[in-house]
Amino acid sequence: MDDLLHRVLTKLLAKKGRGLQATRGVTLEKTGVILHLTNPRARLSRTARRSQIFSCLGELAWYLAKTDSLAFITYYVAAYKKESADNKTISGAYGPRMFNFRGEDQVANIIKLLRERQNTRRAVIQIFDAADLKNTREVPCTCSIQFMVRQKKLHAFTMMRSNDAYLGLPHDVFAFTMIQELIARAVGVEIGTYKHVVGSLHLYEDHIEAAQAYVEDGLHETVQMPPMPVGNQFEAVKHFLKVESKIRRKKKVDLDSVDLEPYWKDLARLLRIYRFSRDSDPRGMARQMKKMTSKIYDQYIENKRRGVQQRLASAPVQRPLFPDSDAELAN
């Protein structure tokens, strides 16, 4: 992912001074772009600047939960608040469109199709709808995702009308390659390559300095996420989503006794760590980190934990007006 981001941002920054006025601000743009991720499990940036596993994972959970709830997604990605017309829902939410588009579960349909006819060219999830042309907010950036099995590997091709290279691209690649791997497991084949086709790939003027700093950080070692467990994982997804809901709503859940394989339990612990970060509890984050099965997530947890510690160190100390004990008085 860092290889792709580095190339994309370098090319966009080369257009500096030739901005295009778009609906949401001035952008540097390239059109008709094809990005090729040869190893879709290497879907996470390894840099401190773009290590967004928590928001990426939260957005994926939002898709898989088949919901358009604004409260759900803004818990992970606050920027969605600007996209809602009724302050309750996101009309362009991908989850309902993927799993219940006019009553059709597109994901289930293509899994069935690919099991029956692996050479098919019809396994397409449609997200953009003709009615979206009339909308003014949250028009889906993704048009469709096509899946093909070739040589017993599932390849995915996402077609985007528009893509924010700095903020949106890492989230989109993460979510769609995770869905690619879920479908591959359900079909009974290995994950193949991933191609991301974009009509307008752009960098907003507000993000130019951050993008320049990212590029100057240089390249990083390629590290991939662990493979998903073998077999259909959609039952595990149901259990994972129940855990996610409890964590997000501050309900009690014992992750040690949850019936999930280590792969999914690690992802659940990441969500618990994110909850602790929102609650400014670095000790809770550290406790969960020690229980992680895979160590590739340590970097992301440490980055988040350091951020919480810095926030706490710079916050003014709140002292009670009337101490309840001699100990408080001494402190």
Q: What is the pLDDT of residues 87-110, one digit of tens each?
A: 999 999 999 999 999 999 999 999
Mean pLDDT of 122-139: 89
pLDDT band at 328 (very low <50, low <70, confident <90, very high): very low
Query: 277 with 308: CB under 8 angstroms?
Result: yes
pLDDT per position as a tens digit, 192-215: 999 999 999 999 999 999 999 999
pTM for the predicted model, two decimal places: 0.92
pLDDT per position as a tens digit, 176-191: 999 999 999 999 999 9
For β-strands 190-204 and 153-164, DSSP reports them as: parallel
Mark 286-308 as b/e (b = at least 16 C-beta within 10 Å).
eebbeebeeeebebbbebbbeeb
| Cβ count within 10 A of residue 74 | 18
Record: fold of 2-216: Thymidylate Synthase; Chain A (3.30.572)
Q: Where are the domains of the chain?
A: 2-216, 234-314
pLDDT per position as a tens digit, 264-299: 999 999 999 999 999 999 999 999 999 999 999 999
How high is the pLDDT of residue 325?
37
